[in-house]
Structure 1
């Protein structure tokens, strides 16, 4: 069976699609068969990222390693079993189709609470949660008092807990939940230290692993319109990477290593 990677966080702007595209492309470049789904049926940021990539390759006449992107299939009412949810059927149908041809299936979830996102989290073998380095974003994981003391899990953590319970009831292995601090700023060291301590404390309490994320870099915003990732730069003729680009590649390498995905030997 394919290993399912879910990239989820119920808050928009956390960098889920950037993380999804970079992880997906890196795995394809390392020789793994990867299929990708975007469950944000309205915005489709990952879907647009892939479409931008296809358009760039066509314009430039280049062939870049890319994930196999699929849309959710449309279904009619007569295809549903009595009491079956249409969204559940659409997701399970495409997963069943992709599993035989994929080593990994990566699912990018919307920045909101939806039925599709709930189901996807229950399917996750590995769950990646990008988290902006802010206590506003941290509030999705845990509620805190004015001194930053953790009072208890918040809405997103509770949703992951429910997904874990569903997997346990189905006899599936536990979700490997990885929270990555994302868009780290170059300044405000006091806030960084507080966030690091809070994330490490919460990791022990509710059971996730903290992983290195990406610093805030202009390059990520520049890559999206062309559908490119950090690993594509040399393929399109950028032979001399600047210090920021080299550091960003190392951040991606560190993230891939920390995910500890089955059969993956990180090399790029």
Structure 2
């Protein structure tokens, strides 16, 4: 099989986090739809096909389109299933083959950008996905509970003790990416569910994130606020960019406009390549 590094390579955005409930799935679908609406040809991969969160969201979106008889942008999608073999080396070989087959299919379908949703656990497929990232986005809730996924902190003074297992995994992924094709991973830690008030805990988390960013090499980005609109749309596989066309009785208020601006700010923070001239009408 021809390796991914030998092919015309799409830009790869990986959503990675080993903790659930941080907004990874919401972030994934909003990035996908925002890029589609910006004119990119987008492929999507779900590396946790058993859980199938991204797969389920896109299935709901396709169903909404069919039932309502409307047109909404859809990505090319490929799920990647975990191997059920017993031998570790055989498992890893089979999973790599499945990963590269899915990636190759999306590339041949013309994807300029591939968005990969990783499992919320340390698996071989997750490590494989991370090691192919151009941009890695790690959503965290704005608290020391989620901060612990990035680093261990002293409970008394909140000083950073050492990076977490996940941060070490990202470091290994960076080394693998560089060895494969001399590529670099731009790591964005996305602070979700930011409180409106300037609480002491919020300031402390921000200060520790800034210190850790310099130590292990990521940049921070303001994420999405805690808004009911995200949950209302998610069940249909919809995003804030779909509200007008979807016609589901939601009037765009100021809070919805603010939420859409949060999405746009995140997409703008990704160092995307220009669209391919052959794709531009």
Task: Provide the TM-score with structure 1 as the length reference.
Answer: 0.92
Q: Mean alpha-carbon deviation: is it higher for 246-255 or for 169-178? A: 169-178
- Paired residues, number: 261
Query: How far 1:51 sits from its partner (Å)?
Result: 0.7
Q: Is the 8 A contact 1:73 1:93 kept in 2?
A: no
Q: Equivalent residues in 2 for 1:62-101 (5 A)?
A: 62-72=70-80, 85-100=93-108, 101=110
Cα–Cα, structure 1 residues 73 and 150, in superposed 2: closer, same or farther, change >3 Å? closer
The structure 2 residue matched to 1:60, chosen from 68, 83, 93, is 68
Q: Equivalent residues in 2 for 1:35-50 (5 A)?
A: 35-50=43-58
Give the equivalent residue in structure 1 for 2:229.
219
CA deviations on 1:73-109 (whole Å, 9 max, x unpaired) are 79999xxx98962111110111122123110011001
Q: Is the 8 A contact 1:131 1:137 kept in 2?
A: yes
The structure 2 residue matched to 1:249, chosen from 256, 260, 263, is 260
| DSSP-derived class of the 1:178 partner | strand
Give the equivalent residue in structure 2 for 1:152.
162
Give the equivalent residue in structure 1 for 2:271.
260
Q: Is the 8 A contact 1:182 1:215 kept in 2?
A: yes
Cα–Cα, structure 1 residues 83 and 116, in superposed 2: closer, same or farther, change >3 Å? closer
RMSD: 2.1
| DSSP-derived class of the 2:102 partner | helix
Which runs of no fewer than 5 residues in structure 2 stay unpaired? 1-8, 276-281
Cα–Cα, structure 1 residues 189 and 166, in superposed 2: closer, same or farther, change >3 Å? same
Q: Is the 8 A contact 2:82 2:125 kept in 1?
A: no
Q: Equivalent residues in 2 for 1:1-268 (5 A)?
A: 1-72=9-80, 85-100=93-108, 101-146=110-155, 147-187=157-197, 189-237=199-247, 240-263=251-274
Q: Is the 8 A contact 2:49 2:81 kept in 1?
A: no
Query: How far 1:58 sits from its partner (Å)?
Result: 1.0
Q: Is the 8 A contact 1:73 1:94 kept in 2?
A: no
| DSSP-derived class of the 2:181 partner | coil
For 1:102 and 1:110, the matched residues in 2 are separated by 22
Query: How far 1:246 sits from its partner (Å)?
Result: 0.5
For 1:73 and 1:12, the matched residues in 2 are separated by 19
Task: Provide the TM-score with structure 2 as the length reference.
Answer: 0.87
Q: Is the 8 A contact 2:50 2:81 kept in 1?
A: no
Which runs of no fewer than 5 residues in structure 1 stay unpaired? none
